[in-house]
Amino acid sequence: MIKHAAVEGFKNLLRSFWLSVTAVFIITVSLTSVALVASLWVVAGFTLRQFDNQAVIYVYVKDGVSLETRDKMQQDLRNFSPIKEATFIDKTQAREELKNNPIASESISTLQDVADSSGNALNFLRESFKIIPTTAENYNTVIDFVQRDEYKGVVDEIQGTQDYINSLQRIYYWTAVIGIVLVAVFGTISILVMINVLRIAIYSRRDEIEIMRLVGATNNYIRGPFIAEGILYNLLASILVIALFIPIFVGLAPQIKIYLGVDINTNSGGLMNLLYLALLITNGTGIVVGGLTSFIGTQRYLKF
């Protein structure tokens, strides 16, 4: 039955060549619009995610903490999965960070001059852990971790960027909402286009369906070639879309890498893999829709 459906579906596609070309072209345009919106959404989301590295938490260490205790806490921080990076900053490194921050160094220099003239001592150089969470969503999880009772003898003060995190999460939320809405709108339009194109193809051969039905062919025997034909339309359109987008992805990858300053190919969460996944989902959905549309479209001609 499957072999019959595939062979007859392919024959139908060749027999109505220009109708098939038109259908494939229209479906290709529809899938291209969805793939383009999905790709832009992925790129925008990945770009915004680079701001997660600015979600820095400074955990200042109390004076007199032993090296063993400090090293144990650093190891615990590095083993905690919501933490991407945990670096210990001693007083020498703290001095260098202040020198590299012109605004802070100028203000501190002024305060230090005032303190020295009054005979007081100010100490701005404090040892700390510089922590970067894996994502902005893990920010509060990391804060809760360093506030555990076992670290009370180590932690003197925690300074973070809560306002920055709140703003970043709002941006992530609205980016996701807008992206989902746009993909849904373009996806719905594309599905409606596919449905109408395939219905036209089925309508053009309604007499054949009626003749096969009258001579005793089963519904599945009649329906099979049309389902295969609908899948073939979308399969050919998907191949064209992939052939269009992959060279674009490959060509733009070096420029994106330079612009973002990160490796976009290293892991499963890399930008290129996300783009390929979005392209695969878009085209896979189109093929499934093609089969379902053909199934539904033949129903009206198979009723006794």
* Torsion angles phi and psi, residue 84, rounded to 5: -80, -40
Say yes or no: 136 and 25 in one domain.
no
Measure the CA–CA gap between 53 and 217, rounded to whole angstroms: 64
Say yes or no: 282 and 222 in one domain.
yes
Say yes or no: 187 and 96 in one domain.
no
Say yes or no: 174 and 44 in one domain.
yes
The answer to whether the CB of 18 falls within 8 A of the CB of 240 is no
Say yes or no: 41 and 186 in one domain.
yes
Scan for tokens 């089963």, then name that residue.
218
Say yes or no: 216 and 77 in one domain.
no
pLDDT of the chain, 304 residues: tens digit per residue? 677 677 777 777 777 777 778 888 888 888 888 888 888 888 888 888 778 777 888 888 888 888 888 888 889 999 999 988 888 887 776 666 655 554 444 444 554 454 455 544 444 567 888 888 988 888 889 999 988 888 888 888 888 777 888 888 888 888 889 888 988 888 888 778 777 777 777 777 777 777 877 787 777 787 788 788 888 888 898 899 999 998 888 888 777 777 766 666 655 457 788 888 888 888 888 888 878 877 777 776 666 4
Structural domain count of the chain? 2
Say yes or no: 113 and 44 in one domain.
no
* Torsion angles phi and psi, residue 153, rounded to 5: -80, -5
Query: 161, 194, 218 — which closes off a domain?
Result: 161
Query: 139, 161, 183 — which closes off a domain?
Result: 161
Measure the CA–CA gap between 95 and 155, rounded to whole angstroms: 20
- CA 11, distance to chain mean position in Å, is 40
Buried b (16+ CB within 10 A) or exposed e, 70-79: beebeebbee
Say yes or no: 16 and 124 in one domain.
no
Say yes or no: 40 and 62 in one domain.
no
Residue 247 tokens, joined: 């060279």
Say yes or no: 91 and 13 in one domain.
no
| Angle between helix 2-15 and helix 219-260 axes, rounded to 10 deg | 70
Say yes or no: 156 and 107 in one domain.
yes
Range of the domain at 154: 55-161
Query: 131, 161, 191 — which closes off a domain?
Result: 161
Residue 304 tokens, joined: 């006794």
Say yes or no: 84 and 152 in one domain.
yes
